[in-house]
Structures are given as C-alpha cells and as structure tokens.
Amino acid sequence: MKRLALILPLLLGGCASFDLAQGQVAAYGARAADDTRESAEYMLCHGITVGAWRRAYGADPMRAQGWALLCAPPAALPLPPVPAPALPQPGEPHG
C-alpha cells in the first residue's frame, strides 16, 4: 500500500512529483541510517559486557581510547589507562 502511495503521484504528476518523492525517499533512508547508527552505538556503549569489552578493546590502548571517546565520560573507562608505547622517531633504530 505504501508503494502505491509513492508510485501513484509519480504517474499522475510527472517530474515535479518525482523530485518530491525522491526527496521523501532520501529523507526516509537518512532517518533509517541514523536509527541504525544510534542502535549500534547504544549496543557498543551500553550493551557490551565487561568481558566482551576486554576482548575487543582491553589489549589495545588505542582502541580502548577510541571507545572511551565515543562512549564514556572521562572517568568511566572500564580498565585503567595503559601508556601507549613511544613511536620510534625517524632515523632511530627499531627494537
């Protein structure tokens, strides 16, 4: 029924109706994408168990920091901060 409601104005109204319908479809798609992102962020930030968080982010300080920037207030990181290893400077030997 919804499809008919979208198609019927196109058949009766020509290009102007098509532009209107195209804009409505784009707005609907954008809302659906926003809802999907919001659900994913909720699950990532609030639906994750401590064990799953440790497996996914606990071993990598950069990933843990990224999660914290997206999801957590500054003092809510589940694990204590781990200092990131210093990156070698150009010209320094690796090792």
| Residuewise pLDDT in 10s, the chain (95 residues) | 667 666 666 666 666 566 777 888 888 899 999 999 999 999 999 999 999 999 999 999 999 988 988 887 656 555 666 666 666 677 766 55
Range of 61's domain?
A: 2-71
Measure the N-to-C terminal CA separation of the chain; round to a whole number of Å: 67
What is the C-alpha separation between 45 and 28, in angstroms, rounded?
26
How deeply is 57 buried, as exposed, middle or buried, from its count of CB atoms within 10 A (0-12, 13-18, 19+)? buried
Whether residue 35 lies inside any domain: the answer is yes
Q: Return the closest-CA partner of residue 64 out of 54, 74, 73.
A: 54
Confirm if 82 and 64 have CB atoms less than 8 A apart.
yes
Domain count of the fold of the chain = 1
Q: Is this prediction's pTM over 0.75?
A: no
Whether residue 78 lies inside any domain: the answer is no
